[in-house]
């Protein structure tokens, strides 16, 4: 028996011989020192013994609290530069011993191990190190080993051991100990659940970051077992309907943060949102608000020129690109001035006063932009219920940060995000009709193709250049069960303006009827993926109508 463990056994034997109650022991070892001194002081005042490691022990001693170093309990110094401190039977047996089992307790006494009744541990800041740019050995050293082992051991033995991983829980535990002399079983179980979630999240972040740094050999894109680190950003007002509770989570993959947006100086809450979003004005966001805002923000990223996308029920009702945000918004608004009422609008350029004046004229739920000028926010603040979001247009991270996650019925569907088409994507498009698009039609087709990608399938977009400059949608048919019905809807919204316009389809045409309807509406050029078994019939219908048709070879369904 080592000298340290021998002293432990002697102390316990003396307590047992005296017939007194065993002094309770707390193990405190935290990377985040928030609140730890207050917790330790509360425990000390209740007669608890404090055992600690490294920097935590120094912080407690500096506060005038008596502290027993872990090395004194184990009889071993910290090894391998601190990599091994608490990985020892004198610690883990003390945590894992079941107090109701006489054989467990006898084993502790035989080996001189003192029970541990509370474990307060939080972990090395791996995510913060990754976000700061650490790689290689520097990043590996931020992977905590002893901490998760302590947390999991304490959480496993939650009926007998209090486990704390969040400083926010310190006060209520200290209060329960002072008021009742202990922590109720239901609270212990709650803390254990939180602890297991904490270590699972920690490991999931590590796996995601390391996978992103160096993909696994063999090129297997989908691991057999996948843990996604989901971090709660907000509890929402309600879900899709008021009777449904909802919360917002994000994939918490560390990445270098973008520079902070400049202070606006205008009224607003600066309420934090998901990573990359800050709410500058308005009441809290609901579940549906976030669905629409994220759909609008994703859609507007597809355009290189200043663009505005108006969303209603997660699908665009108007899209415009022009020389300025205000001009782009005018085109998007005029595409469907009825449907935009109560909608969401996103911009891919900073929002200025000119655009804000136009936005303030109509009822909107949310406006999203990469930045909002102070004078623009002053204008938008006239609408007290309008939510104004600033969004980081930078990269969403690496690895799993490029994935889209949707859940339903206990299942999560995961896919790689449909990234924006690169600027030169249309170089791979293939004209398939006798008539070839004019240069002006090529540009309009490019716009329509990027616009249709944002719409719910089956999706059809009718679009055209504007005489004053820029491009806009004229009619959108989306979310239909029949592609020909989507064509009819888009043409009906476009009306006479469809003559000479272009049309984009997110999927191939299964029959010639859609092209025949487009021809009757005056469409001059069509872009679609191609790939139908009836492509020859579809092309023949376009040739018969004198319509130019281009195949992209790539589909853009959005369900």
**For every one of its 559 residues, what pLDDT tens digit does the chain have, with 9 covering 90 and above?**
444 444 444 444 444 444 446 789 999 999 899 999 999 999 999 999 999 988 899 999 999 999 998 888 887 777 786 677 778 888 888 999 999 989 988 988 888 889 999 999 999 888 888 888 888 888 888 898 889 999 999 999 999 999 999 999 999 999 999 888 889 999 999 999 999 999 999 999 888 888 776 655 555 667 777 788 888 888 888 887 788 888 888 777 775 444 443 333 333 445 545 557 889 999 988 889 999 999 999 999 999 999 999 999 989 999 999 999 999 999 999 999 999 999 999 999 999 999 999 999 999 999 999 999 999 999 999 998 899 999 977 544 334 446 777 776 667 777 777 877 777 788 899 999 999 999 999 999 999 999 999 999 999 999 999 999 999 999 999 999 999 999 999 999 999 999 999 999 999 999 999 999 999 999 999 999 999 999 999 999 999 999 999 999 999 998 8
The per-residue pLDDT for 111 is 87
d(CA 519, CA 455): 22
d(CA 498, CA 242): 40
Quick check: 280 and 389 in contact, CB under 8 A? yes
Residue 17, beta-bridge partner list: none
d(CA 487, CA 475): 9
Quick check: 72 and 4 in contact, CB under 8 A? yes
The per-residue pLDDT for 13 is 45
| 432-459 core/surface letters (b: 16 or more CB in 10 A; e: else) | bbebebeeebbebbbbbbbbbbbbbbbb
DSSP helix/strand/coil, 537: helix
The per-residue pLDDT for 309 is 97
The per-residue pLDDT for 520 is 97
CATH class of 3-211: alpha beta
Q: List the end-to-end C-alpha distance of the chain, in Å, as a whole number.
A: 66
The per-residue pLDDT for 33 is 94
| 162-193 core/surface letters (b: 16 or more CB in 10 A; e: else) | bbbbebebbeebbebbeeeeebeeebbeebbe
Residue whose tokens read 């001059």: 524
The per-residue pLDDT for 352 is 96
d(CA 56, CA 61): 9
Quick check: 432 and 539 in contact, CB under 8 A? yes
Cβ of 298: how many Cβ atoms within 10 Å?
Answer: 19
Same fold for the pair 3-211 and 267-391: no
The per-residue pLDDT for 408 is 65
d(CA 148, CA 195): 9
Closest of 520, 513, 527 to residue 492, by C-alpha: 520
CATH architecture of 427-551: 3-Layer(aba) Sandwich (3.40)
Residue whose tokens read 């665009």: 316
DSSP 8-state assignment for residue 302: T
The per-residue pLDDT for 38 is 94
Query: Which residues are annotated as catalytic?
Result: 156, 313
CA gyration radius for the chain?
A: 31
Angle between helices 89-96 and 146-156 (to 10 degrees): 30
DSSP 8-state assignment for residue 86: S
Quick check: 509 and 515 in contact, CB under 8 A? yes
The per-residue pLDDT for 214 is 60
Residue boundaries of the structural domains of the chain: 3-211, 267-391, 427-551
H helices of 157-306, in order, are 170-180, 185-213, 287-300
267-391 carries CATH number 3.40.50.880 = no
What is the β-pairing status of strands 525-528 and 307-312?
Answer: unpaired
């Amino acid at each position: 028996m080592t000298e340290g463990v021998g002293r432990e056994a002697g102390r316990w034997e003396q307590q047992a011989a005296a017939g007194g109650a065993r002094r309770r022991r707390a193990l405190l070892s935290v990377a985040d020192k928030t609140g730890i001194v207050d917790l330790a002081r509360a425990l000390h005042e209740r007669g608890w013994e404090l055992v600690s490691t490294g920097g935590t022990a120094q912080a407690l001693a500096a506060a005038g609290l008596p502290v027993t170093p872990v090395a004194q309990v184990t009889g071993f110094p910290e090894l391998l530069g601190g990599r091994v401190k608490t990985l020892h039977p004198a610690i883990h047996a003390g945590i894992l011993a079941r107090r109701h089992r006489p054989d467990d307790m006898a084993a502790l006494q035989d080996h001189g191990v003192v029970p541990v009744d509370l474990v307060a541990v939080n972990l090395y800041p791996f995510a913060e190190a990754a976000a700061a740019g650490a790689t290689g050995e520097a990043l590996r050293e931020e992977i905590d080993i002893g901490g998760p082992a302590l947390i999991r051991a304490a959480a496993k033995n939650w009926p007998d051991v209090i486990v704390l991983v969040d400083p926010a829980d310190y006060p209520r535990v200290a209060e329960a100990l002072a008021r009742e002399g202990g922590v109720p079983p239901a609270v212990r179980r709650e803390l254990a659940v939180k602890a297991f979630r904490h270590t699972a999240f920690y490991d999931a972040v590590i796996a995601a970051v390391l996978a992103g740094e160096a993909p696994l050999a063999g090129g297997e894109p989908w691991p057999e077992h996948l843990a996604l680190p989901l971090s709660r950003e907000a509890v929402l007002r309600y879900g899709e309907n008021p009777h449904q509770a909802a919360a917002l989570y994000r994939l918490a993959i560390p990445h270098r943060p973008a520079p902070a947006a400049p202070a606006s100086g205008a009224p607003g809450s600066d309420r934090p949102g998901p990573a990359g979003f800050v709410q500058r004005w308005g009441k809290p966001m609901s579940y549906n608000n976030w669905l629409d805002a994220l759909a609008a923000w994703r859609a507007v990223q597809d355009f290189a020129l200043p663009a505005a996308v108006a969303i209603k029920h997660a699908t665009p009702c108007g899209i415009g690109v022009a020389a300025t945000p205000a001009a782009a918004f005018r085109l998007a608004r005029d595409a469907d001035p009825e449907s935009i009422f109560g909608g969401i609008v996103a911009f891919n350029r900073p929002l200025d006063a000119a655009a804000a004046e136009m936005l303030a004229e109509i009822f909107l739920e949310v406006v999203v932009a990469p930045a909002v000028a102070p004078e623009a926010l002053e204008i938008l603040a006239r609408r007290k219920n309008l939510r104004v979001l600033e969004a980081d247009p930078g990269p969403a991270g690496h690895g799993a940060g490029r994935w889209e996650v949707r859940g339903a019925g206990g299942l999560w569907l995961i896919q790689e995000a449909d990234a924006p088409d690169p600027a030169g994507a249309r170089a791979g498009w293939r004209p398939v009709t006798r008539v070839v698009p004019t240069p002006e039609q090529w540009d309009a087709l490019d716009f329509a193709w990027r616009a249709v990608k944002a719409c719910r399938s089956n999706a059809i977009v009718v679009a055209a250049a504007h005489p004053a400059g820029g491009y806009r949608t004229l009619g959108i048919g989306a979310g239909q069960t029949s592609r020909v019905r989507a064509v009819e809807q888009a043409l009906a919204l476009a009306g006479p303006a469809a003559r000479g316009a272009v049309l984009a389809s997110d999927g191939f045409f299964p029959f010639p009827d859609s092209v025949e309807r487009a021809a009757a509406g005056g469409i001059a050029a069509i872009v679609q993926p191609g790939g139908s078994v009836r492509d020859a019939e579809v092309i023949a219908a376009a040739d018969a109508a004198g319509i130019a048709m281009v195949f992209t070879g790539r589909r853009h369904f959005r369900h």
